[in-house]
C-alpha cells in the first residue's frame, strides 16, 4: 500500500493519482458540475477531465451518478430501516432477489450482528409502510422476522472526504 495525502491507497488503486481524487471529490459534492467547470477549478483542460472520468469508469471506481430527490416533496413522508432476520444465512441471495422486486426498498446491506440484512425503505405514510411490511416483505420465504426503525430526521448524508483539503 502507498500513502497519498493522508489517504492509504491499496495496490489495485495505484493507477489513481491526486488529480483523479480531486475530480472525484468535486463530483461527489456536485455530480451536475460540467467537466469544463471542474477543469477550470483544477487548472487542467476539459479533455483531461473527460479522459480521467472514462478511466475511472473503466476501472469500476465510478459506477454511476445519482439524482438526490427529497422524497417527502413527492408525498413519501416515511423513511424507515428494517433489520431482517433470516431463517438461514444461506438464504441471503434468494431473499435479496425478492427484496429487489419491492420498489419501496431503496437500499439493503448484508450485515454482521443481529440482522442478516439491514434495509432502507421509503413509504408515503405509516399505513403504506405497514402494507409493504405485511403484504410484501414478511411474505418472502426465508425471512424469519423483521424489526422496523422509523427515521424521524436525516441529520447527515454526505460523501466521504477522499482528498486532503490542505494539500
Q: Are residues 95 and 137 in the same domain?
A: yes
Q: Are residues 83 and 51 in the same domain?
A: no
pTM: 0.79
- On whether residue 157 sits in a domain, the answer given is no
Q: Domain range spanning residue 7? A: 2-58
- On whether residue 96 sits in a domain, the answer given is yes
Q: Are residues 109 and 51 in the same domain?
A: no
* pLDDT tens-digit profile, the chain (167 residues): 445 544 544 545 678 999 999 999 999 999 999 999 999 999 999 999 999 999 999 999 999 888 889 999 999 999 999 999 999 999 999 999 999 999 999 999 999 999 999 999 999 999 999 999 999 999 999 999 999 999 999 999 888 999 876 54
Phi and psi at residue 148, in whole multiples of 5°?
-110, 135
Using DSSP, state whether 103 is helix, strand or coil: coil
In the chain, the N- to C-terminal Cα span, in Å, equals 20
Assign residue 79 the CATH number of its domain: 3.30.70.920
**22 CB contacts (<8 Å, ≥6 apart)?**
42, 163
Q: Are residues 146 and 81 in the same domain?
A: yes
Q: Are residues 50 and 100 in the same domain?
A: no
Q: What share of the chain is helix, strand, coil (3-state, %, to 5)?
A: 40, 20, 40
Amino acid at each position: 500500500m502507498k500513502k497519498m495525502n493522508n489517504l492509504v491507497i491499496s495496490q489495485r488503486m495505484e493507477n489513481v493519482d491526486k488529480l483523479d481524487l480531486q475530480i472525484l471529490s468535486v463530483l461527489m459534492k456536485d455530480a451536475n458540475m460540467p467537466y469544463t467547470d471542474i477543469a477550470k477549478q483544477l487548472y487542467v483542460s476539459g479533455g483531461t477531465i473527460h479522459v480521467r472520468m472514462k478511466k475511472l469508469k473503466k476501472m469500476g471506481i465510478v459506477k454511476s451518478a445519482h439524482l438526490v430527490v427529497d422524497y417527502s416533496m413527492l408525498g413519501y413522508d416515511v423513511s424507515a430501516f428494517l433489520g431482517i432476520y433470516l431463517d438461514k444465512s444461506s438464504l441471503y441471495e434468494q431473499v435479496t432477489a425478492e427484496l429487489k422486486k419491492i420498489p419501496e426498498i431503496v437500499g439493503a446491506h448484508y450485515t454482521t450482528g443481529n440482522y442478516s440484512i439491514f434495509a432502507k425503505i421509503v413509504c408515503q405514510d405509516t399505513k403504506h409502510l405497514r402494507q409493504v411490511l405485511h403484504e410484501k416483505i414478511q411474505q418472502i420465504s426465508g425471512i424469519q422476522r423483521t424489526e422496523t426503525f422509523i427515521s424521524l430526521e436525516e441529520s447527515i448524508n454526505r460523501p466521504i472526504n477522499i482528498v486532503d483539503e490542505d494539500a
